[in-house]
Structure 1
Amino acid sequence: MPVRLRRRPRVFAAVGVFAVLAVAAVFRFWALGRPGTLVFDELYYVRDAITQLAHGFPTAWPDDDPGMATGFTDEPSFAVHPPLGKWIIALGLAVLGDATGWGWRSAVALTGVATVAVTMRLGWRISRSAGVAMFAGLFLAVDGVHVVLTRVGLLDGILTFFVVLGALFMWRDHEWVTERTRVARGGLPVLWARPWLVAAAAAFGCAAAVKWSGLYPLAALLLLTAARDTIVRFSVAHEARRPLGLTSDLDAQRHASYARATGTALLQAAATGLLAIPIAVAVYVANWFGWIFTAGGWGRSAGWVAGLWQYHVDMFAWHSTLSAPHPYQAHPLTWPFGLRPTAMYFEALDSGLVQVISPIPNVLITWGGVAALLVLAWWAIRALRRPATLIRSRSLAAHGAYAAAFVVVCYLSGWLPWVLTVSRSAVFQFYAVVLTPFSALALALVVGVICKRRGSLEETSGRRMAVAVFVTAAVILSLAFFPVWSGAPIPEGFWRWHLWLPSWG
């Protein structure tokens, strides 16, 4: 009987996880071939994927027909993004062909479901709560921005997968270091053999090989890791000096102990960078294999090292000088609230119906996630106001300060660099899809705290009922918006009903 009692929660958790993944799959694969023509920037990325599959590098098309009635040529094309995302799109094309949207969208949809799975895993590792993990997965599964960007053959949904995977591996590295801190005596040596850090660097190398913006989270999390390692070493130094007692040279010993901790923290930061950055670069370069090992690609006439360097110089120049005003351009400051969604497809049908694909946000999840991130940021800042407490703690995750900081930094790493550096007009709301897993995770963590907060039976029941109502309303809202996320034929009046803000049209 005790064995059954222990196994029952695991069964419920497994059922819940598979149910969330089923919801994610339905939202992404239902009528995935609709419409049967290229939408928005599929015109570029899907065509690059088709020609990469044929030649190993992108080649040109003679026209801009979204129906792809004409074929491609052998003339190399200047692709302005690295090749990995297009290779992943090509996997679906290799299996299903390019006759329907299923071919060029199925691999992206699959990465969307995988992102939900990885987000749940990250939620569980952070909270050790199956409920929090399932909330995080469900919020992401029905998030409008993530749903749309994993139903079209664009790169950003794929980028999001690798960013979340890298974040999961970075969290595992935190756990790995924390475990070694518990058994440290007299000081913690510089750690070189960090398998989870290696895995994270490889994941972020793949993220950068989809879009260069995948480098932002790697840089941010390396800085956070350096700060975490510093606090860990001061924790070990603090514990190591406690048995000294009240001796005449206690202050000198304390200062010497902290000086050693500072020195090893700096060495550890250098070691972390020397370990992670070359791996990320090597993985990034390896993803150019098609261009490297074939002849005829753009700029491939010289040796591949010099040619690849010049290719990147040209890519950087293109991105830094791009000036292409667009009716759906959106300043990064508006991204967290989804104030200017990028309408990717609109077609008025002869029957009086319309077809729309627009990543209009589910406001309960998107705006609720922003509120939850502010709560997590407050938790982290409040802990920083008591540095002595952080130093004395042998497990930063135990009181949630590092967990809160980790989620907030992951979110900011995909948003703040754009706010600080954007200098071109052609930036769009859908770039914010990389924020959605961390917004969902923040919301799930806050919801988990609300559900588990101590109080009377009546108070606890009331809070859990409020959470149940919120989650139910969020799912119902996503069902109501799914037709405009998926290009379903709908009456124009029904489409207009979804335009809750003037900027959503």
Structure 2
Amino acid sequence: MTQVTDQRATTPFGAVSSWSSPGPLRPPPDIGPTDRLRGWLVTALLTAVAAVTRFTMLNHPTDAGSPVFDEKYYATQAWQMLTGGWVEDNPGYGVVVHPPVGKQLIAVGEALFGYTSWGWRFSAAIAGTVLVLLVIRIVRRMTRSTLIGAVAGILLIADSLTFVSSRIGMLDIFLALFVTGAFGCLIVDRDDVRARFARVAAEGRIDVTAWGPRLGVRWWRFGAGLLLGLACGTKWSGIYFVAAFGVLSVYFDLSARRSYGVRLPWLGVAVRDIVPAVYALVVVPIGVYLASHWAWFASETGVYRYMPGNPSAPSDPIGTDGFWSHIPDALRSLWYYNARSMEFHTQLTNSAGNHHPWESKPWTWPMGLRPMLYYYADTGVTGCGGSQCVKAVMLVGTPAIWWIAVPVLVWMIWRSVVRRDWRYGAVLVGYGAALLPWFATIDRQMYYFYALPMAPFLIMGLALTLGDILGRARPDTIPRSAAGAFVTTRRNERRSLGLLVVCLYLGLVIANFIWLWPVLTALPITPSAWHNQLWLPSWR
């Protein structure tokens, strides 16, 4: 008689499952969270709260009715796009050094509300609101918990870095939205791939070939490629996420093939997965990036539109013959346009004498040690109840969130490396793509708003950590013994204490956000209240 052994497998979410088969261990079926209606109701409620915070006093402040800080570039360029055929045609009109997608989105708001503060900030507020929705759904999917998804949403609503960035007509909020959306698509694609493997395994077809089955068309990964293309079409730093998410997607595929007992998983990835991944996450973004310049290609007056053979080229004129002459002139002109933009960025260095009083370096970003002052006025300001009033908008991360970034990152690394928790590893990939590449160009002039794409991933990691503190819900069962009753009581008390800690922390975050509200929205305050908001010497 054959002896059947009891094998135990750990699911991706930590639950232990029993198997009574001598065959290879495979993940148990995972249908995800079943409270769909409640999940969407919670998502809708928190997204509505986010919208209220982002749109309240959106038209305030302005510089005598004109844009503030770097809005002066993007609001103006967006208006020129709107009134000039969706293309920038005058390099002297502003610093034309970024791709067009973000400015086109700002122009949509200006088309609705005109050249007003509502106009040039409307699209950013929409993006900041949708970003909250995305983070809620992504965390909910990764944790299979509507509660932890809601915790992530509350944290992002109260994150003052994303809050201020959602209320100013600049590009970074769009970059953060697109890369977060691409990350979410890859998380859904991971679940979809494993569901396909489960069906193949149930049909007994895993071992048909040594490298495993084909996975078919993967529309979620294709969607990630589209969003990454839009990210690159907003700012070139989107390329960092193209590389990072490409590696992450291939790792997800390798992990799935190994989990389902494919005999040669590495060969399976090489044969089945790498080429489709390159198409979806490299070729598609390149195509989207080129397509984002549609108006420029169609124009007669776009910046650097006709450069081959143009003797007025500022530098390095493009000839009409030579090795590259077989490439269409339009693409050669676009290459020239991008090269001039890159030249601007590479020359904007400290060693070349370019300094800004509010610049910061990437080692200060994880804890938000060097914020930015977007707006400040102390002349003719009234309404604070004192003889002198000031107004300010400071881009600063909520300290209750950002100041614990280092221990949260340590916990994330430990969970990824030691406990092999894929969720933390995936979030770290996104966080690292937003931070680490900037260390390669440390001489470049940098600002804290470059850290905005880090914020959603910090929030995700923090929500996962709070989920670990909260602990897993235990089913209500009747213990069969006194020992069982003791264990059940200990587990219930452990979760109750975890819930208390999480609630107290969320209360602290919300209180901290409310405290900062005046310097996030330019409310009139007294000079002493202003100085009370400057907690660190580096904030001054």
TM category, shorter: 0.7 to 0.9
Q: Give the aligned partner of residue 484 of structure 2.
A: none
Q: 1:365 aligns with which of 370, 376, 401?
A: 401
Distance 1:30 1:294, change over 3 A: same
Q: Give the aligned partner of residue 390 of structure 2.
A: 354
Residue 333 of structure 1 deviates from its aligned partner by 0.8
Q: CA RMSD in A?
A: 2.1
Of 453-462 and 171-180, deviating more is 453-462
Residue 19 of structure 1 deviates from its aligned partner by 2.9
Relative to its length, the structure with more helix (as a share) is: 1
2:160 paired with 1:156: no
Normalising to structure 2: TM-score of the pair?
0.79
Supply the AA of the counterpart residue of 1:497: N
Q: Give the aligned partner of residue 245 of structure 1.
A: none
Residue 495 of structure 1 deviates from its aligned partner by 1.2
Report how many aligned residue pairs link the two structures: 448
Supply the AA of the counterpart residue of 2:466: V
Q: Distance in 2 between matches of 1:10 and 1:234?
A: 30
| SS state at 1:320 partner | helix
2:279 paired with 1:274: yes
Distance 1:192 1:13, change over 3 A: closer
| SS state at 1:343 partner | strand
Q: How do 1:28-43 and structure 2 match up within 5 A?
A: 28-36=54-62, 37-43=66-72
Distance 1:291 1:196, change over 3 A: same
Distance 1:370 1:150, change over 3 A: farther
Q: How do 1:482-497 and structure 2 match up within 5 A?
A: 482-497=517-532
Q: 2:105 aligns with which of 81, 84, 88?
A: 88
Q: Give the aligned partner of residue 13 of structure 2.
A: none
Q: Give the aligned partner of residue 338 of structure 1.
A: 368
2:87 paired with 1:57: yes
Distance 1:468 1:83, change over 3 A: same
User: Is contact 1:159–1:211 with CA below 8 Å preserved after alignment?
Assistant: yes
2:448 paired with 1:429: yes
Q: Distance in 2 between matches of 1:432 and 1:403?
A: 21
User: Is contact 1:136–1:444 with CA below 8 Å preserved after alignment?
Assistant: yes
User: Is contact 1:77–1:297 with CA below 8 Å preserved after alignment?
Assistant: no
Q: Give the aligned partner of residue 316 of structure 1.
A: 342
Q: 1:473 aligns with which of 493, 496, 508?
A: 508
2:45 paired with 1:19: yes
Q: 1:327 aligns with which of 353, 357, 367?
A: 357
Q: Distance in 2 between matches of 1:345 and 1:266?
A: 52
Q: 1:464 aligns with which of 499, 503, 506?
A: 499
Distance 1:295 1:360, change over 3 A: same
Residue 441 of structure 1 deviates from its aligned partner by 1.1
Of 299-308 and 435-444, deviating more is 299-308
Distance 1:9 1:223, change over 3 A: closer
| SS state at 1:353 partner | coil
| SS state at 2:68 partner | coil
Q: Distance in 2 between matches of 1:502 and 1:15?
A: 43
| SS state at 2:366 partner | helix
Q: Distance in 2 between matches of 1:228 and 1:17?
A: 27
Q: Distance in 1 between matches of 2:101 and 2:492?
A: 53
Q: Give the aligned partner of residue 428 of structure 2.
A: 408
| SS state at 2:372 partner | coil
User: Is contact 1:370–1:439 with CA below 8 Å preserved after alignment?
Assistant: no
User: Is contact 1:192–1:275 with CA below 8 Å preserved after alignment?
Assistant: no
Q: Distance in 1 between matches of 2:280 and 2:465?
A: 34
Q: Distance in 2 between matches of 1:76 and 1:33?
A: 24
Q: Distance in 1 between matches of 2:255 and 2:498?
A: 35
Of 488-497 and 14-23, deviating more is 14-23
Of 198-207 and 52-61, deviating more is 52-61
Q: Give the aligned partner of residue 126 of structure 1.
A: 142
Q: Distance in 1 between matches of 2:407 and 2:38?
A: 30
Supply the AA of the counterpart residue of 1:201: G
Q: Give the aligned partner of residue 395 of structure 1.
A: none
User: Is contact 1:141–1:147 with CA below 8 Å preserved after alignment?
Assistant: yes
Supply the AA of the counterpart residue of 2:416: A
2:307 paired with 1:307: no
Q: How do 1:229-248 and structure 2 match up within 5 A?
A: 229-236=253-260, 239=261
Residue 224 of structure 1 deviates from its aligned partner by 1.8
2:502 paired with 1:502: no
Q: Distance in 2 between matches of 1:146 and 1:477?
A: 15
Distance 1:318 1:355, change over 3 A: same
Give unpaired runs (5+ residues) of structure 1: 1-7, 62-74, 241-256, 385-400
Q: Distance in 1 between matches of 2:246 and 2:356?
A: 35
Q: 1:142 aligns with which of 158, 163, 168?
A: 158
Supply the AA of the counterpart residue of 2:289: Y
Distance 1:157 1:228, change over 3 A: same
Q: Distance in 2 between matches of 1:13 and 1:297?
A: 47
Q: Distance in 1 between matches of 2:406 and 2:459?
A: 9
2:257 paired with 1:221: no
% identity of equivalent residues: 31
Deviation string 1:354-381 (CA, Å, 9 cap, x unpaired) is 1111112211112334433321221110
Supply the AA of the counterpart residue of 1:447: L
| SS state at 2:390 partner | strand
Q: Distance in 2 between matches of 1:319 and 1:190?
A: 43
Residue 121 of structure 1 deviates from its aligned partner by 1.1
Q: Distance in 2 between matches of 1:359 and 1:34?
A: 15
Normalising to structure 1: TM-score of the pair?
0.84
Give unpaired runs (5+ residues) of structure 2: 1-33, 308-328, 383-387, 475-489
Supply the AA of the counterpart residue of 2:134: V
| SS state at 2:395 partner | coil
User: Is contact 1:372–1:443 with CA below 8 Å preserved after alignment?
Assistant: yes
Q: Give the aligned partner of residue 68 of structure 1.
A: none
Residue 12 of structure 1 deviates from its aligned partner by 5.0
Q: Distance in 2 between matches of 1:360 and 1:107?
A: 21
Distance 1:9 1:173, change over 3 A: closer
2:295 paired with 1:290: yes
Q: Distance in 1 between matches of 2:139 and 2:492?
A: 27
Residue 181 of structure 1 deviates from its aligned partner by 2.2
Residue 139 of structure 1 deviates from its aligned partner by 0.6
| SS state at 2:452 partner | helix
Supply the AA of the counterpart residue of 1:357: V
